[in-house]
């Protein structure tokens, strides 16, 4: 599902539109600047701002007060009042209606979600990579002092950088401002334990936030790993061993269910609890059937490994 907001220069209503969209969807939203009536007609802007979902204006003909072209567009809320942008409820309803035409697979949503969290700022990227490497080497996150050198010349504090990473959902900070999560790693125990081979022939034991995160550690680090997890319905253990890029699953018919709470929010709160290993397709389907409010899909081994590699392999790339 693609979201695009068309707008004129300095449109005062662009900000509320984008803010409300951010409250109702975790998919990326692009914007397009429209400066001529010809472009407004070409791209379908019935006043600024205009939301397009997969190229269609969901509010066209809905009684909003707008003029076509490079003009200001106003909307009416549920009570009929003139407002600068649709309400969150109206946006959510429009997205739901559009989703019935062809909803994106949860794997696509997860991929878009995590892509948005990858730091682009050089200082934030360096700090993020240092955090991931510290988890991989020591099974714990670095302290603030460990990160001081990375931000020393940036005129920013470590707390500022960590807060930015937290707000982007690249990491999660606890109530005391300490690093609790740096996807794929968790600073506290989870049902997904991962043994990482080190260069000295030993192992570093870490915990992953979810099944996909656990599968992503080997391609991210380029190391051998052994995942120890459990089917939460049967309590049967599940192991995935990665050796020189080749994986072995026990049991062989194990699968991964990926889903997310429809409420949205940080990955740690909304989807990590719903990305789990199951012993086979039937047990995963039984769990999904008993949790109808959690939209998701069942991935076979190859698809689960492919998604994990796409999400995590780039994180430590130069």
pLDDT in tens, 210-253: 999 999 999 999 999 999 999 989 999 999 999 999 999 999 99
Same-domain status, 121 and 213: yes
Which of 51, 69, 103 is the endpoint of a domain? 103
Taking the C-alpha atoms of residue 177 and residue 179, their distance in angstroms, rounded to an integer, is 7
Range of the domain at 177: 105-318
Report the range of poorest mean pLDDT among 83-92, 117-126, 132-141: 117-126
Residue 95 has pLDDT above 80, yes or no: yes
Give the chain's domain count.
2
End-of-domain residue from the set 46, 69, 103: 103
Are 274 and 148 within one domain?
Answer: yes
58/122 same-domain check: no
For residues 206 and 284, membership in a common domain is answered with yes
Q: Which of these ranges, 50-64, 180-194, 238-252, 256-270, has the smallest mean pLDDT? A: 256-270
Q: Is the pLDDT of residue 299 over 60?
A: yes
- Give the Cα separation of 298 and 284 in Å (integer): 7
Q: Within this chain, do residues 171 and 249 fall inside the same structural domain, yes or no? A: yes
The reply to whether 153 and 253 lie within a common domain is yes
Same domain for 109 and 92, yes or no, is: no
**Which DSSP symbol is given to 199?**
T
Residues 135-139, mean pLDDT to the nearest whole number: 95
pLDDT of residue 101: 45
Nearest to 215 by CA among 300, 283, 307: 307
**Residue 79 and residue 84: Cα distance in Å, rounded?**
14
- Indicate if 272 and 228 belong to the same structural domain: yes
Mean pLDDT of the chain: 88
Q: Is residue 146's pLDDT more than 70?
A: yes
Q: What is the pLDDT of residue 217?
A: 97
Peptide bond into 184 cis (omega under 30): yes
pLDDT score, position 296: 84
pLDDT band at 63 (very low <50, low <70, confident <90, very high): very low
Region of residue 51 (left: phi > 0; alpha: psi -120 to 50; beta: else): beta
Considering the domain architecture, whether residues 250 and 192 belong to the same structural domain is answered as yes
């Amino acid at each position: 599902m693609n979201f695009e907001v068309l707008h004129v220069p300095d449109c005062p209503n662009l900000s509320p539109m984008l803010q409300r969209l951010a409250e109702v969807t975790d998919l990326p939203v692009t914007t397009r600047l429209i400066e001529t009536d010809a472009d407004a007609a070409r791209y379908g802007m019935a006043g600024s701002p205009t939301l397009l979902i997969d190229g269609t204006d969901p509010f066209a003909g809905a009684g909003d007060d707008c003029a076509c072209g490079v003009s200001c567009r106003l909307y009416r809320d549920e009570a009929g009042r003139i407002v600068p942008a649709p309400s969150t409820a109206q946006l959510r309803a429009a997205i739901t209606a559009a989703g019935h035409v062809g909803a994106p697979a949860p794997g696509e949503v997860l991929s878009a979600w995590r892509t948005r969290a990858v730091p682009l700022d050089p200082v934030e990227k360096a700090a993020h990579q240092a955090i991931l490497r510290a988890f991989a080497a020591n099974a714990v996150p670095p302290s603030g002092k460990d990160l001081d050198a990375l931000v020393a010349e940036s005129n920013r504090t470590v707390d500022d950088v960590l807060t930015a990473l937290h707000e982007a959902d690249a990491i999660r900070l606890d109530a005391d401002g300490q690093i609790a999560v740096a996807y794929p790693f968790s600073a506290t125990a989870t049902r997904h334990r991962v043994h990482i081979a080190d260069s000295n022939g030993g192992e570093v034991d870490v915990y992953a936030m979810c099944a996909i995160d656990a599968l992503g550690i080997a391609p991210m680090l380029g190391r051998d790993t052994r995942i120890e997890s459990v089917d939460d319905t049967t309590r049967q253990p599940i192991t995935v061993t990665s050796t020189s890029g080749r994986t072995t699953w026990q049991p062989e018919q194990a699968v991964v269910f990926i889903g997310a709470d429809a409420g949205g929010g940080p990955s740690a709160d909304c989807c990590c609890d719903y990305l789990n290993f199951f012993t086979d397709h039937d047990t995963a389907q039984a769990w999904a059937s008993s949790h109808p409010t959690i939209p998701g899909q069942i991935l076979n081994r190859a698809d689960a490994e492919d998604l994990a590699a796409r999400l995590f392999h780039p994180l430590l790339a130069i």
